[in-house]
Amino acid sequence: MAAQSTGSFIKKEILSHDHDHAGPPDGSRVVVVAVDGSHHSEFALDFYMSNLKKSNDYVVLLTSPEMEDILKATWNQSEYTVDTDHLANHLAKEREKVEEKLHFFKEKMLTREMRGKVKAVSSHNPGDAICKGAEEEDADFIVIGCRGLGAIRRTFLGSVSDYVLHHSHIPVVICRHKHSHEHHANIGHKWNL
């Protein structure tokens, strides 16, 4: 595990489980698949397995825990002070959750007979974590799901896949389920949006 900290704030924490302990073999492609447990990331993983996977691929299932919410929760009423005991307790709990998530994704890799590892990278936003994780792994490309936000919501909220597409220095495959656009269009009609 590597962690960088500035004062009381953790900027990045990396946890990983490499189930083959060998790293990527020479001549293999390193593929980062962003996963968060949602059906969108599951679809992206399925798409990769069905359409892009090659026998010599080394896959990094990368997840990004949202540590920023924990940091915000530790601020008390006084300006610029942090309850460090509370922070340490929250970080320990979050670490357990991340370890459980990594174990879940590791089992998914083993079930699908993929060679590679699972990794968690925390950053100021998930898109940044995915780009940095891919860079650290010297990945050849990134596969990511897409929630299929409408144009207005995407403009105001942004999206992780949009961030990765515009900030990654390697190719990005964005997997949108073919029914996601229809689903959002139906919601708009149903609720007169």
What lies within 8 Å, CB to CB, of 188 at 6+ separation is 150
pLDDT more than 90, % of the chain? 34
104-113 mean pLDDT: 88
What band does 165 get if pLDDT is binned at 50, 70 and 90? very high
Looking at per-residue pLDDT, the higher value among 11 and 106 belongs to 106
76-92: buried (b, 16+ CB within 10 Å) or exposed (e) per residue?
eeeeeeeeeeebeebbe
33-44 mean pLDDT: 90
DSSP conformation class of 56: T
Looking at per-residue pLDDT, the higher value among 157 and 140 belongs to 140
pLDDT exceeds 50 at position 68: yes
Query: Which of 5-9, 15-19, 46-50 has the least mean pLDDT?
Result: 5-9
Q: What is the structure's pLDDT at 188? A: 40
* Residue pointed to by tokens 């920023």: 68
- Which residue, among 3, 22, 6, 12, has the nearest Cα to 123 in the 3D structure? 12
Q: What is the structure's pLDDT at 105? A: 87
pLDDT (tens digit, 9 = 90+) per residue, 86-102?
778 878 888 888 888 88
Looking at per-residue pLDDT, the higher value among 90 and 29 belongs to 29
Looking at per-residue pLDDT, the higher value among 20 and 162 belongs to 162
Looking at per-residue pLDDT, the higher value among 60 and 76 belongs to 60
pLDDT exceeds 50 at position 187: no
What lies within 8 Å, CB to CB, of 127 at 6+ separation is 160, 161, 162, 163, 164, 167
150-172 mean pLDDT: 78
